[in-house]
């Protein structure tokens, strides 16, 4: 695959992310309420990243307070005087002023800062906070590597990523996890405490850090994406926003020279392919529609093209990572028709994926692909060796494989899957299979 | 593998899918420690007097085609896995040995 439209690609992704976020800049009074939350979300993490990089990780709450205070001023000013011509520039100016005031007034805070900044703040009349797009990009990159730190638990990394890297509020995170604000608040507080305890220096990652840590970073961003993609919340706008944010962060990595690496492009490609099916994978009631039953015309073909473009970019270097393999599997799934070549390739890719990294779900998917290539009887023999008797999907797979071969056994397997299922979505899918077999 | 039974390149190529599925199947059971590594069929032999000769198969008529490390509870389980090795279709044998320290 060859890139023929590099400049359009960048704009395309930007537009698509925008659309996904439903972030419309419409200057009507009625729409103002809509504008503010989305604008704040995207600006929150930018300003926080710049301030935290300037002050150090220990002052994370101060940075967040300054930004929250800025948004409060904006809400007050804009609701009485109307929107300024350039809301973003307005926010940056106010955030800068508030930071400078805080530096001047709070002696205790000053003492905690680095001697260099103290000196600058004391001697310079106009101490500049750099909110240029270059510095924002650098700060966000530094922040990604700070948050995705292997010394912090994965759960904390994700919570921090949602909050600090994506700008999601506590309520939004709670909605996505179907939990309450208190739980999320505590989780974030613990995670931030851990971040301070580890006392990571926030700086532009060097080449050594990038090669050592990029996998952790990508894994966290992949999980962040999955939180949106597989979340059981009915709020589909929020789920889209999670996916769009995860993609934005990977895109940020891909657009910085030092992190524009094959595995980053592979992950971005994988995300594009997944997201292309977003509209097709749930009906109007939010019920999951399985791949086989999806309306292909609802797939986002522009997004599929994006995926192919990044898959092409990922085919460099000499490393075949799990993201490459997963992206290639997702690519073959953009062909709805069951061509023999499709399943041969998917089986081959799953074989390799398992060799790179075992996971029960991959083992099950591989066996499904085997059934497509070698038939159900051969796949049953392989499936029964997997021995995943505590996994509902294991029984669902066996139910599927036995359907048409021995429906009594198939039914029995689906019933076992039902007993292990723990979400309404899963139970609904299994119920349909059971009904089909009983009718 | 018996030297006379050395399969033709074409035959080997046609069996690639069978090999891939065999590894995939072992990996799907989370029993793969290290994927198969093909060994060069020629090689050298260092004799006890440090004298070097070509090819390890001067005295025995067999060559080792490759090595695969798997996890198994017992010889019985390992043998069951080995019985599906595509080399058997090509006239080869599989030698099953327990490693002292499978992780090492």
Asked whether residue A176 is domain-assigned, the answer is no
User: What confidence tens digit (pLDDT) does each residue in A245-300 have?
Assistant: 899 999 999 988 889 999 999 999 999 999 998 888 777 766 777 777 888 888 89
**For residue A211, what are its two tokens?**
């090669």
Integer Cα distance of B64 and B55 in angstroms: 11
Q: Could you tell me the pLDDT band of residue A232, with boundaries at 50, 70 and 90?
A: low
Token pair 């703040």 is found at: A121
Q: Could you tell me the pLDDT band of residue A32, with boundaries at 50, 70 and 90?
A: very low
**For residue A324, what are its two tokens?**
């490459």
Q: Which of A344, A348, A355 to mutate to test the interface with B (most CBs of B within 10 A)?
A: A355
Mean pLDDT of A185-197: 87
Asked whether residue A38 is domain-assigned, the answer is no
Identify the residue with better confidence: A290 or A21.
A290
For A276, residues 6+ apart whose C-beta sits below 8 A from its C-beta are: A299, A300, A301, A303, A304, A307, A334
Among the listed ranges A33-42, A233-242, A358-367, B20-29, which one has the minimum average pLDDT value?
Answer: A33-42
Report the chain A residue with the minimal C-alpha distance to residue B31.
Answer: A358
Integer Cα distance of A231 and A36 in angstroms: 25
**For residue B47, what are its two tokens?**
């004799």
Asked whether residue A2 is domain-assigned, the answer is no
H helices of A165-261, where?
Answer: 170-176, 181-198, 207-230, 236-255
Integer Cα distance of A329 and A335 in angstroms: 11
Q: Check pLDDT > 50 for residue B101.
A: yes
Mean pLDDT of A105-115: 68
Predicted local confidence at residue B96, as pLDDT: 92
Q: Which of B17, B28, B78 to mutate to test the interface with A (most CBs of A within 10 A)?
A: B28
Contact by Cβ (8 Å): B45, B58: yes
Of A344, A348, A367, the CB nearest to B28: A367
Predicted local confidence at residue A2, as pLDDT: 32
Asked whether residue A198 is domain-assigned, the answer is no
**For residue A360, what are its two tokens?**
């029960």
Using left for φ > 0, alpha for ψ between -120 and 50, and beta otherwise, residue A196 falls in alpha
| A355·B25 Cβ contact <8 A | no
Q: Check pLDDT > 90 for residue A327.
A: yes
Token pair 């967040």 is found at: A64
Q: How far is CA B73 from CA A107, A390, B31, B102, in A?
A: 66, 20, 10, 12
| B25·A385 Cβ contact <8 A | yes
Query: B34 vs chain A: nearest CA distance in angstroms?
Result: 8
Are A306 and A391 contained in the same domain?
no
Q: Could you tell me the pLDDT band of residue B103, with boundaries at 50, 70 and 90?
A: low
Last residue of one domain, picked from the residues A297, A327, A357: A327
| A355·B23 Cβ contact <8 A | yes
**For residue A202, what are its two tokens?**
């926030």
Last residue of one domain, picked from the residues A277, A299, A327: A327
CATH number of the domain at B3-88, out of 3.30.70.1060, 3.30.2270.10, 3.90.550.10, 3.90.79.10?
Answer: 3.30.70.1060
Q: How many domains does chain A have?
A: 2
Predicted local confidence at residue B5, as pLDDT: 56
Predicted local confidence at residue A121, as pLDDT: 64
Integer Cα distance of A245 and A257 in angstroms: 20
Of B20, B25, B30, the CB nearest to A382: B25
Name the percent of chain A lying above pLDDT 90: 33
Asked whether residue A121 is domain-assigned, the answer is no
Q: Could you tell me the pLDDT band of residue B78, with boundaries at 50, 70 and 90?
A: very high
Mean pLDDT of A209-228: 85
Query: B84 vs chain A: nearest CA distance in angstroms?
Result: 11
Contacts of A320 in chain B (CB under 8 A): none
Q: Could you tell me the pLDDT band of residue A228, with boundaries at 50, 70 and 90?
A: confident
In this complex, is the C-beta atom of A365 within 8 Å of any C-beta atom belonging to chain B? no
What is the count of residue pairs from A and B with beta carbons less than 8 Å apart? 46
Predicted local confidence at residue A238, as pLDDT: 77
Query: B25 vs chain A: nearest CA distance in angstroms?
Result: 7
Integer Cα distance of A366 and A220 in angstroms: 24
Query: A413 vs chain B: nearest CA distance in angstroms?
Result: 19
Identify the residue with better confidence: A304 or A80.
A304
Mean pLDDT of A373-401: 94
Q: Could you tell me the pLDDT band of residue A18, with boundaries at 50, 70 and 90?
A: very low
Predicted local confidence at residue A59, as pLDDT: 82
Predicted local confidence at residue A193, as pLDDT: 87
| A355·B28 Cβ contact <8 A | no
CA atoms within 13 A on the CB side of B4: 2
Residues pairing with A288 in the sheet: A282
User: What confidence tens digit (pLDDT) does each residue in B7-38 have?
Assistant: 666 766 677 788 888 889 999 999 998 877 77
Contact by Cβ (8 Å): A280, A296: yes
- Residue A293: give the domain boundaries: 269-327
Are A322 and A342 contained in the same domain?
no
What values do phi and psi take at A323, rounded to 5? -70, -40
Asked whether residue A314 is domain-assigned, the answer is yes
Integer Cα distance of A196 and A213 in angstroms: 19
| B23·A386 Cβ contact <8 A | no
Dihedral of alpha carbons A188, A189, A194, A195, sign: positive
**For residue B89, what are its two tokens?**
């279709």
Integer Cα distance of A162 and A241 in angstroms: 11
**For residue A144, what are its two tokens?**
């990604």
Contact by Cβ (8 Å): A262, A322: no
| A347·B21 Cβ contact <8 A | yes
Q: Which of A332-336, A410-414, B37-41, B85-89 has the highest mean pLDDT?
A: A410-414
User: What confidence tens digit (pLDDT) does each residue in A49-100 have?
Assistant: 999 888 888 888 888 889 988 988 888 888 788 888 888 899 999 999 898 8
Contact by Cβ (8 Å): A181, A171: yes
Integer Cα distance of A19 and A240 in angstroms: 10
Among the listed ranges A229-238, A320-329, B46-55, which one has the minimum average pLDDT value?
Answer: A229-238
């Amino acid at each position: 695959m060859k890139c023929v439209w590099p400049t359009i690609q960048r704009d395309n992704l930007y537009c698509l992310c925008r659309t996904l976020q439903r972030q419309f800049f419409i200057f009507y009074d009625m729409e103002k309420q809509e504008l503010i939350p989305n604008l704040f979300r995207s600006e929150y993490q930018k300003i926080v990243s710049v301030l935290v990089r300037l002050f150090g990780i220990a002052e994370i709450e101060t940075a967040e307070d300054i930004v929250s205070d800025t948004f409060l001023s904006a809400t007050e000013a804009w609701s009485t005087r109307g929107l300024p011509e350039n809301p973003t520039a307005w926010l940056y100016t106010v955030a800068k002023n508030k930071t400078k005031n805080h530096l001047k007034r709070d002696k205790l805070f000053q003492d905690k800062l680095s001697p260099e900044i103290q000196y600058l703040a004391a001697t310079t009349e106009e101490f500049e906070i750099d909110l240029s797009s270059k510095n924002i990009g650098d700060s966000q990159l530094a922040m990604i590597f700070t948050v995705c730190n292997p010394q912090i638990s994965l759960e904390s990394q994700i919570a921090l990523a949602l909050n600090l890297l994506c700008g999601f509020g506590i309520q939004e995170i709670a909605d996505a996890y179907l939990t309450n604000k208190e739980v999320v608040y505590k989780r974030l507080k613990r995670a931030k405490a851990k971040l301070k305890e580890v006392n990571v220096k926030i700086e532009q990652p060097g080449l050594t850090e990038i090669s050592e840590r990029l996998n952790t970073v990508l894994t966290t961003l992949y999980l962040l994406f999955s939180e949106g993609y597989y979340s059981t919340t009915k709020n589909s706008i929020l789920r889209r926003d999670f996916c769009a944010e995860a993609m934005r962060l990977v895109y940020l990595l891909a657009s910085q020279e030092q992190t524009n690496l094959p595995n980053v492009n592979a992950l971005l490609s994988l995300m594009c392919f997944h997201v292309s099916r977003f509209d097709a994978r749930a009906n109007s009631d939010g019920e999951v529609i399985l791949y086989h039953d999806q309306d292909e015309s609802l797939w986002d073909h522009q997004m599929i093209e994006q995926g192919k473009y990044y898959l092409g970019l990922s085919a460099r270097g000499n490393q075949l990572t799990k993201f490459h393999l997963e992206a290639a599997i997702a690519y073959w799934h953009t062909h709805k028709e069951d061509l023999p070549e499709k399943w041969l390739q998917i089986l081959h890719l799953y074989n390799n994926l398992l060799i790179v990294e075992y996971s029960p779900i991959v083992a099950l998917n591989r066996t499904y692909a085997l059934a497509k290539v070698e038939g159900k009887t051969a796949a049953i023999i392989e499936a029964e060796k997997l021995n995943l008797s505590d996994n509902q999907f294991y029984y669902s797979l066996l139910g599927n494989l036995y359907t048409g071969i021995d429906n009594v056994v198939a039914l029995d397997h689906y019933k076992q899957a039902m007993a292990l299922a723990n979400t309404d979505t899963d139970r609904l899918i299994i119920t349909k299979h059971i009904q089909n077999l009983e009718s | 593998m018996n030297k006379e039974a050395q399969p033709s390149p074409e035959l080997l190529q046609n069996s690639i899918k069978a090999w891939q599925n065999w590894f995939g199947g072992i990996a799907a059971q989370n029993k793969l420690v290290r994927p198969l590594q093909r060994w060069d069929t020629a090689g050298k032999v260092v004799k006890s007097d440090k004298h070097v000769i070509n090819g390890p198969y001067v005295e025995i008529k067999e060559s080792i085609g490759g090595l695969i490390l798997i996890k198994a509870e017992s010889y019985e389980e390992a043998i069951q896995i080995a019985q599906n090795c595509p080399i058997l279709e090509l006239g080869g044998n599989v030698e099953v040995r327990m490693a002292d320290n499978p992780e090492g």
